[in-house]
Amino acid sequence: MSAGLVKIQLLLGGVLRSVTLTRGEREGSYAGDLDGQAVEFDAVSLMPGVLSLILRSGTGAGQSYQCVFDQADPETGTRRVSIGSHTFAYQVYDPRSLTGRSKRARQDEGTLLLKATMAGRVVRLLVEQGAHVESHAGIVVIEAMKMQNELRAQRAGQVTELRVAEGEMVSAGQVLAVIE
């Protein structure tokens, strides 16, 4: 008799997936259920974060996949898995943290936080504090690895705060300006 191994829900590519797995009879074989669909496969861990999976049921029986996992983001728990050229991000489903995130999102309504998309150095401020800007107007130019990137307002509004100065180093996700 095979024993239950895992029952898990995943947010993968924006879709909630339910997976249950049990060990199969041969070593490395597994039976399971993916969103109500029975499925059998072989799986073996090759090295930390890399596994080989071979489907044993359905029309894809025999297909061999190498799945390479990134380390989970310590903050969000998001982890990427690459299968050949296809990469998917997923999180283990946890209703409470989702609620938390959407609450925070609502708080920000009416206010646009312009965040650095990547670490780099502020080479130019294109507006002054208090300025009214159109949608897509350039606000800050950041340079990283010799590339300059102009960060633009995602909608029209007033620049109520400029939180960085020219020459300053910023990290990814850091708030650069507030537009209301």
CB of 180 to other proteins, least distance (A): 24
What kind and span of H or E run contains 133?
strand 132-133
If the CB atoms of residues 92 and 156 are measured against other proteins, the closer one turns out to be 92
DSSP assignments along 156-179, one per residue = -EEEEEE---TT-EE-TT-EEEEE
d(C-alpha 11, C-alpha 103), whole Å:
19
If the CB atoms of residues 17 and 163 are measured against other proteins, the closer one turns out to be 17
Location of structure tokens 């489907």: 55
If the CB atoms of residues 80 and 160 are measured against other proteins, the closer one turns out to be 80
Residue 86 CB neighbours (<10 A): 9
d(C-alpha 93, C-alpha 81), whole Å:
16
If the CB atoms of residues 53 and 178 are measured against other proteins, the closer one turns out to be 53
CB of 71 to other proteins, least distance (A): 6
CB of 139 to other proteins, least distance (A): 14
User: What residue spans of 79-175 are helical by DSSP H?
Assistant: 95-107
CB of 159 to other proteins, least distance (A): 18
